[in-house]
Amino acid sequence: MATQVNANREAGVLGKQSIEMRRTQWAEPGVSSALCWLAIDDLKGNPGRPSSLPRALYRETIASFLHFDEPQPNQLYAIGGRNQQQGPLDTIEMFDTWHGKWVTAPSMAVRRAGCAAASLPDGRMIVIGGYDESGIVKGLLSSCEIFDPSTQTWDNKTKPLQRARWGHGCACIGGLVYVVGGCSLRPGAPPHDAFMETLRGCEVYDPQTEIWSWCAELSMARAGSRVVTLGDRYLAAVGGCDDVFGRAEMLPTVELYDIDVGRWNLLNVQLSTPRTTAAVAAIDDRRILVIGGAPSLSSAEVYHVPETAEQDSAPEPVNHQQSQLKGPPVSDMVEGRTGCQAVALELPALGSTYPKCTRQCVLVVGGENGDDDWDYEQAHVWQFSSVLVYDVLSDTWRPEDSFPEMPTPRTAMALCVGPGRISGHP
- Distance between the two ends of the chain, CA-based, in angstroms? 53
Are 38 and 180 in a shared domain? no
Say if residue 11's pLDDT is above 50. Answer: no
Nearest residue to 295 via CA among 367, 385, 238: 367
Please indicate, yes or no, if residue 168 is contained in any of the structural domains: yes
Give the structural domain span for 25.
Answer: 2-65
Are 131 and 148 in a shared domain? yes
Please indicate, yes or no, if residue 114 is contained in any of the structural domains: yes
Q: Report d(CA 137, CA 173) in Å as an integer.
A: 30
- Taking only the tens place, the pLDDT of each residue in 158-214 is 999 999 999 999 999 999 999 999 999 999 999 999 999 999 999 999 999 999 999
Boundary-marking domain end, from 37, 65, 93: 65
**Could you give the number of structural domains in the chain?**
2
Buried b (16+ CB within 10 A) or exposed e, 189-215: eeeeeeebbbbbbbbbbebeeeebeeb
Are 56 and 154 in a shared domain? no
Are 26 and 119 in a shared domain? no
Whether the link from the prior residue into 106 is cis, omega within 30° of 0, is no
CATH number at 152 reads: 2.120.10.80
Are 60 and 77 in a shared domain? no
Are 206 and 252 in a shared domain? yes
| pTM summary value | 0.82
- Taking only the tens place, the pLDDT of each residue in 220-265 is 999 999 999 999 999 999 999 999 998 889 999 999 999 999 999 9
Please indicate, yes or no, if residue 37 is contained in any of the structural domains: yes
Please indicate, yes or no, if residue 425 is contained in any of the structural domains: no
Please indicate, yes or no, if residue 426 is contained in any of the structural domains: no
